[in-house]
Amino acid sequence: MNNRGQVLGEGDEDDELLADVARRYYLDNTSKVDIAKDLDLSRFKVARLLEDARARGIVQIQIKSPSPIDRALADQLAEKLGVPRCVVTHTSGSPEQIRDQVAEAAARTVAPLVHDGDLLGLTWSRAVDAMVDHFDALPACTVVQMAGSLHSPAGGGSTMDLARRAAALAGGTAHAVHAPLVVDDIAAVAALRRQPGIADTLALADRLDISVVAIGAWRTGCSTVWDAVSEEIRDEGVAGGAVAEVSGHLFTADGKLVESPLEQMIIAVSADQLRRPAERVALAAGVHRAPAVISAVRAGLVSTLVTTTDLARDVLRQLAALERT
C-alpha cells in the first residue's frame, strides 16, 4: 500500500485521484495521454476518471453567456411557428422589468432592420414604448403611427408621442393620427377616418417597409384595449372566439379576424394592412399569451417574434398539444 493509502480511506483516495486528474486536465491543460503516462494509467481510465469527476460534482463547469438571448430556443420556436425569425431572451424580475428586457431585445432586433428611406410603422404598447427608449439612433426613416392614441392606465406616453420620439431619433418625419384608438360613437369613427390627415396617414400603411406591434391576449390585464372598452364589447369579442388583440383588431385561435363591434370603433390600419410590410416585428411577454402568439402568427401578422424564454416554452407546449389533437 502506498503512503497515501495508509492515511486516507478508499473513498478519499478515489476523490483525491479524481481531483488530481481533473486539475491536470482542466487547469493545467495536460492531455489525457500525458496524464496516463504520468500516473501509469491507461488513456481510457483517465477518460473514465474525468467523467466520474463531473458526475460526482468534483468538477463543476459553468458557462456564462455574454448575451441573454437563447438562440437554440429561438431557432426551435421559429421552426415550429413557421416564421423567419424569433428572438428569445432570458428575463427576470417584476412584470415591468420583464417588459423592459423584451423591449431592449426588440430595440437590438429592429434597429438593424431599418434602412435609410424606409417607412417604419409603430402601434403603441407599453413594450413598444419602452423599445423606443432603448434605441441609440435610427437610420433616416419616416415613422408612421398605425393606430390612434391610447394611453396606458399605468402611465406612459401615447402612440402620437411614440412616433414623434422615434422620428426624432431618425432625424425624420412622423405621420401622426390625431384621434383616439377607440371611439364609442360609430358615426364619429367614420367621420374621423375620412379626415384628410388621418386618412393620409393610415393610407401610408400600404407602403410600410417594417412594422412593430405588440401581441395582446383578449383577457383581463393582457390588453390595453381590453381596459379601454366596455364589458359588453369585451364579452362580444370573447363570444366571437377572440384570443388575440393586435392594434385594436381581434383574432381567433386559428388567426381569423373577429367581426365584433370593436372593428367599427377603432381608428387604425386594417388587418390586411398589418400583413403587408415585409418585416413585421411583434413583441410578446407575460403570462397567458401563448394562444395569442399562435393566433397572431396564423393571422400572418408576424415575421419576427421577440419574446421571453418562458413564453417561448409555453408556445411550444401548446403547439405540441395541438399536434396531438
Q: What is the CATH number of the domain that holds 143?
A: 3.40.50.1360
* In a domain? residue 175: yes
What range does the domain containing 181 cover?
71-324
Residues 316 and 252 in one domain: yes
pLDDT at 214: 97
* In a domain? residue 259: yes
Interatomic CA distance for residues 213 and 123, integer angstroms:
5
**How does DSSP assign 52-98, residue by residue?**
HHHHTTSS------SS-B-HHHHHHHHHHHT-SEEEEE---SSHHHH
Measuring CA to CA, which residue among 82, 66, 125 is closest to residue 286?
125
pLDDT at 64: 64
Residues 110 and 233 in one domain: yes
pLDDT at 325: 81
Neighbours of 145 (CB within 10 A): 32
pLDDT at 8: 37
Task: Collect all residues with Cβ–Cβ distance below 8 Å to 79 and sequence separation of at least 6.
Answer: none
Three-state DSSP at 300 gives coil
* In a domain? residue 64: no
Grid coordinates representing 180 are 383616439
Interatomic CA distance for residues 96 and 193, integer angstroms:
34
Residues 214 and 190 in one domain: yes
pLDDT at 3: 40
pLDDT at 9: 43
Residues 80 and 181 in one domain: yes
Residues 110 and 180 in one domain: yes
| CATH number reported for the structural domain that contains residue 36 in this entry | 1.10.10.10
Q: Tell me, rounded to whole angstroms, the distance of Cα 219 from its chain centroid.
A: 19
> What is the total count of domains within the chain?
2
| pTM > 0.85 | no
Grid coordinates representing 5 are 493509502
Tell me the H-state helices in the chain.
Answer: 3-7, 10-22, 32-39, 43-55, 71-81, 95-110, 126-134, 159-170, 186-194, 196-203, 224-228, 231-239, 271-274, 290-298, 309-324
Residues 42 and 108 in one domain: no
For strands 279-283 and 210-214, give the pairing. parallel
* In a domain? residue 279: yes
- Write out the chain's pLDDT in tens, 325 residues: 344 333 434 445 588 999 999 999 999 999 999 999 999 999 999 999 999 999 999 998 876 656 789 999 999 999 999 999 999 999 999 999 999 999 999 999 999 999 999 999 999 899 999 999 999 999 999 999 999 987 655 545 556 789 999 999 999 999 999 999 999 999 999 999 999 999 999 999 999 999 999 999 999 999 989 989 999 999 999 999 999 999 999 999 999 999 999 999 999 999 999 999 999 999 999 879 999 999 999 999 999 999 999 999 999 999 999 988 8
Interatomic CA distance for residues 289 and 312, integer angstroms:
10
Measuring CA to CA, which residue among 63, 81, 100, 80 is closest to residue 89?
100
Residues 26 and 114 in one domain: no
First-to-final CA distance of the chain: 66
Residues 89 and 215 in one domain: yes
Residue 306 host element (H or E): strand 304-308
Residue 207 per-residue DSSP state:
G
* In a domain? residue 40: yes
* In a domain? residue 61: no
